[in-house]
Structure 1
Amino acid sequence: MSAVLNSNITFIGGGNMAQALIGGLIARGLPPTRITVSDPVDKVREHLASKELHVTTDNIAAIRDADIVLFAVKPQVLASVLQPLKGLLDGKLVISIVAGADLATIGALLDTTRIVRVMPNTPALVQTGAHGLYAEANVSAEDRELASQVLASTGLTIWVSTEAQIDAVTAVSGSGPAYFFYMMESMIRAGKNLGLDEKVATALTLQTALGAAQMAITSANSPAELRKNVTSPNGTTQAAIEVFDHAHISQNIQAALAAAQKRSQQLAQELSDSIK
């Protein structure tokens, strides 16, 4: 972590994900005075300035003294934000968390290849994120370590071996929190239908989700083995699992993630086509 703690980091875009990363970095020991955020929204800048960060609306000024520049803007404004910075990133590591923006698109807009592409997810807001990272072979081991340290401030970092796998990361972890929220919604609704008070059904569902995740993380057994351990023959859990199996829940989940991956690919192509 020492390398990143000695770096000046600029965030272009100061939204929720940027703020999560900023909070994680400060918690790890990065002085706020080493962080600059450029954002057009007054309230965002006021909020960040109150934390002793440097804030501005001038992207060119923001990157001037940066060692690392992290782009956290909406895909639809990517070209308008990046084009004025073309040729100004020499000597700086670029990290992009812009959804759907591939390395070729970012590299062409900025005239640099020293880029790490990241697919984060929203649990980063509570320091339990899962981030997929990819960089081309020209990006050094030192730069990869820097990028890992930046993202690890809010959770798990996993490097993938091809850029195409970022679409799979999007399907599994990028969109993944919504799948679990969907399951929670359904369990809470079922609990109410079975006669539980909504607050009781909610508390039991959320704590069960937390406990199951913690067991899966800390256990030497796989999730499949943990499920089997809970499923007594002819018991209540087996009755529920049989309903899932009859409804082909596992196959449907796999089809859903494949659809998410395909849509991620389509969005990336649409973004690339819109910039050309």
Structure 2
Amino acid sequence: MTHVSVIGCGNMGGALLKGLSKTGQYTLTACDLDPNAREAVSAHCSKTTSNIDAASDTDIVIVAVKPNIIEDLLRELDLSSDQTLVSIAAGVPTDIVRTHTDATVVRVMPNLAAETRNMAAAVTKDAVTDDVRMLLDDIGEYVEIDEAQMDVATAVNGSGPAFVFYMMNAMTEAGVNGGLDEEKARTLAAQTFKGAAETVLQSEQSINELIDAVCSPKGTTIEGMNTLWESNADEAVVNAVLAAERRSQELAHDHNAE
């Protein structure tokens, strides 16, 4: 079994640990200074610790801390050239991480759906290893991209779940306003997003072709779509992604300037 440690057991680190634990293919060590964070993931790990040295003796070390503290942490982390360090810090370029370690560095942008093994992830293709590919494949879908594309990937799949939750909440509220019980409206909205996403992944049709397939002439769907087409909904979503991308670029600039 591959031994993986996750340093930083907040929302994203915790999601990775929980997802990986469900595969039964990994020995997991969780490292965090916060005892509450360790307790929250303890059932999913072989070991929890507050000692960074205890978390560094693994095949793959995933650093899941905030971008503003990653360099300080890396200075304390002593890894060898036969280990792999996976950085998920938004906006922190691979070259910055490499200056602080002898390990093979792989930059990944995952998302919270790692917990349910439905994660969408982007990984820099120039240094990704087979072990990391296998790990990502075990907890979702991933794409290999150039380092220069990581900012937009951070916005699309890293920040994207929040944008989807926002739209899902709007559909739930519409159902409730129409008389549905809130829990039932939420279930219908969530399963609709889940089913639509799976359809996109499995279909060879474009998304626009799939929209057309749902829209019967003079039917209910086309009436709703006409409202969306006449609105600025698509522009708002694009702007949300662009805003997240700009923030990732700002974080990268901050680290390069140091």
User: Same fold by TM (over 0.5)?
Assistant: yes
Q: Does 1:104 align with 2:95?
A: yes
What letter corresponds to residue 129 of structure 2 in structure 1? R
Preserved contact between residue 20 and residue 127 of structure 1 (Cα < 8 Å): no
Preserved contact between residue 170 and residue 260 of structure 1 (Cα < 8 Å): yes
Q: CA deviation at 1:129?
A: 0.5
Pairing 1:1-276 to 2, within 5 Å after superposition: 5=1, 7-32=2-27, 35-46=28-39, 48-51=41-44, 53-63=46-56, 65-85=57-77, 88-108=79-99, 110-112=100-102, 114-136=104-126, 139=127, 144-160=129-145, 162-273=146-257, 276=258
Q: CA deviation at 1:113?
A: 6.5
Preserved contact between residue 20 and residue 154 of structure 1 (Cα < 8 Å): no
Preserved contact between residue 17 and residue 115 of structure 2 (Cα < 8 Å): no
What CA distance in whole angstroms lies between the structure 2 residues aligned with 1:198 and 1:77? Answer: 40
> What stretches of structure 1 move > 4 A for 4+ residues in a row?
46-52
What CA distance in whole angstroms lies between the structure 2 residues aligned with 1:49 and 1:241? Answer: 46
What letter corresponds to residue 189 of structure 1 in structure 2? E
Aligned residues: 258
Greater Rg over alpha carbons, structure: 1
SS of the residue 1:8 aligns to: strand
What CA distance in whole angstroms lies between the structure 2 residues aligned with 1:269 and 1:48? Answer: 33
Q: CA deviation at 1:172?
A: 1.3
Q: CA deviation at 1:48?
A: 4.7
In structure 2, the gaps of 5 or more residues are none
Preserved contact between residue 115 and residue 135 of structure 1 (Cα < 8 Å): no
Aligned-residue CA RMSD in angstroms? 2.3
Preserved contact between residue 121 and residue 174 of structure 1 (Cα < 8 Å): yes
Q: Percent identity?
A: 35
What letter corresponds to residue 84 of structure 1 in structure 2? E
What CA distance in whole angstroms lies between the structure 1 residues aligned with 2:186 and 2:43? Answer: 36
SS of the residue 1:233 aligns to: coil
What letter corresponds to residue 76 of structure 2 in structure 1? P
What CA distance in whole angstroms lies between the structure 2 residues aligned with 1:56 and 1:193? Answer: 48
Q: CA deviation at 1:51?
A: 4.9
Per the alignment, do residues 264 and 196 of structure 1 end up closer, same or farther by CA in structure 2, a change over 3 Å counting? Answer: same
Per the alignment, do residues 43 and 200 of structure 1 end up closer, same or farther by CA in structure 2, a change over 3 Å counting? Answer: closer
Preserved contact between residue 109 and residue 122 of structure 2 (Cα < 8 Å): yes
Preserved contact between residue 5 and residue 55 of structure 2 (Cα < 8 Å): yes
Per the alignment, do residues 152 and 103 of structure 1 end up closer, same or farther by CA in structure 2, a change over 3 Å counting? Answer: same
What CA distance in whole angstroms lies between the structure 2 residues aligned with 1:111 and 1:254? Answer: 37
Q: CA deviation at 1:265?
A: 0.8
Preserved contact between residue 64 and residue 89 of structure 2 (Cα < 8 Å): yes
Preserved contact between residue 3 and residue 26 of structure 2 (Cα < 8 Å): no
What letter corresponds to residue 46 of structure 2 in structure 1? L
Preserved contact between residue 131 and residue 151 of structure 1 (Cα < 8 Å): yes
Q: CA deviation at 1:236?
A: 2.0
Preserved contact between residue 230 and residue 237 of structure 1 (Cα < 8 Å): yes
Q: CA deviation at 1:217?
A: 2.6
